[in-house]
Amino acid sequence: MNKSAVIGVFIVFCFSTHVKVSPAVETSAIIPVAETKVLSVAGNDDEHTKPDKIADPRLKIVQQKAEALIQSGLNAGDGYGEVWIRDLNTFIEPACRVGDKSKIREALLTFFKFQGPDGNIVDGYIPRKDEKVNYDFIYSNLAPQYAAHKNTVETDQESSLIQAIAKYMHATKDQSFLQEQIAGRTVEQRMGDALKFLLNKRYNEKYGLLWGATTADWGDVQPEHEWGVKLDSTSHLCIDIYDNAMFAIAIKDYIAMINDEHEQAYWQGIRQYIMDNTRKHLWDSRRQKFIPHIYLNGSPFPPDFDEDAIYYHGGTAVAIEAGMLERNEILDAYHKMQQNVKAAGAQTIGLTLYPVYPNGFFKNPDMSEYSYQNGGDWTWFGGRMVQQLILNGFYTEAYEALSPMLDRVIKHDGFYEWWTPAGEPKGSGMFRGSAGVLWKAIDMLFEGE
């Protein structure tokens, strides 16, 4: 449908008039303190003025459905018994609005109760009586009722927890939270430990960026195994945009929460170094996109495969949140995503990536073409791109992108985990991450009304 027609039907606009992985390193000696430099974002022009009134009943319907789901628990969804930090990070704001804040507080503290001596943070935890998935479970005397796990192919757990805490603090103003002690260390100290884990254990000196295993965009499945969530000797280590963008966001959040000027200055320098190196090494200026991977010990894919042609939707959205793209590049990214949606015959910009990895490139059968993280359509990340369009003043584009996501929720009466290009719902039928990002996007549109 024509963009202007879509907007005309649902929005009333009343415009204003006027390689080799590095060994552990000492974090204090990595990077000199540098003055923070953030990419500029121009102010709104008349074409992108925020609408004064939004007259679309679907917005309230979906937001209310999201609140009802999020109010009912903190686990990732009806297909997951675990409280996952990467998921909780994306629905903690509505949870603080409509849920039990004391339970949210305790959930965040529980992650620190499983924190490793090196500062690492687990993916999630589950009541011990509900252990079903065959993880290598982690146990803690500080939380004996739970079992935790960590998908070691990822490098986003620590960043996700710090981002979630920042959102919790903003929503609740719970200033005592940062001084809460767990086994003799405060939350504030433990957040620092988590960031230092990434520099000590997941930092590559040659590129000045974090590394992880090869996955599809933001995913947690590597191609070498039938399951693929655990690093081992066959893993192909690499650097990607998602992990480093998440790290940059987490550092910014951490700096805003602490009061130690020395620590703030140190981490400002780290953040700027990550921002600069991301643009230097991961940005493809010719194609105007992020390359999927910089490989540190070889690629798991055939040598004649042009992986650099793949566009990562999720990682790009998170990079925008981190401030890694200029305003004109953000609009161009959105247009490229829309072109990919059309080429894939998909429904929304939640399309994980395009073109997809061919069948057989991942041993996990769930990673076939246009399935799961290999070209499945995830509102969980598409909604984050909508949020960034709103933040950068692209209201028409944001609404255009949001509209089919609203339709799917209402039609199928659920916040499904992911969708096929044909619009078939898949995965968890009540996925709180999807509900959270849609809730926030809608809240941003309604802000100030």
pLDDT per position in the chain (449 positions), as tens? 433 333 333 333 332 323 333 333 344 334 433 333 333 333 344 456 666 667 899 999 999 999 999 999 999 999 899 999 999 999 999 999 999 999 999 999 999 999 999 999 999 999 998 887 889 999 999 999 999 999 999 999 999 999 999 999 999 999 999 999 999 999 999 999 999 999 999 999 999 999 999 999 999 999 999 999 999 999 999 999 999 999 999 999 999 999 999 999 999 999 999 999 999 999 999 999 999 999 999 999 999 999 999 999 999 999 999 999 999 999 999 999 999 999 999 999 999 999 999 999 999 999 999 999 999 999 999 999 999 999 999 999 999 999 999 999 999 999 999 999 999 999 999 999 999 999 999 999 987 44
DSSP category for residue 155: S
CA pair distance 40, 220, nearest whole angstrom: 32
DSSP category for residue 444: H
Domains of the chain: 58-446 (1.50.10.10)
CA pair distance 273, 240, nearest whole angstrom: 15
Structure tokens at 250: 């987490």
Phi, psi of 109 (to 5 degrees): -65, -35
CA pair distance 189, 389, nearest whole angstrom: 34
Spell 403-413 as b/e; 16+ CB within 10 A means b.
bbbbebbeeee
CB–CB of 85/104 below 8 Å? no
Structure tokens at 436: 């959270």
Report CA Rg, the chain: 21
Closest C-alpha to 164, from 125, 137, 138, 191: 191
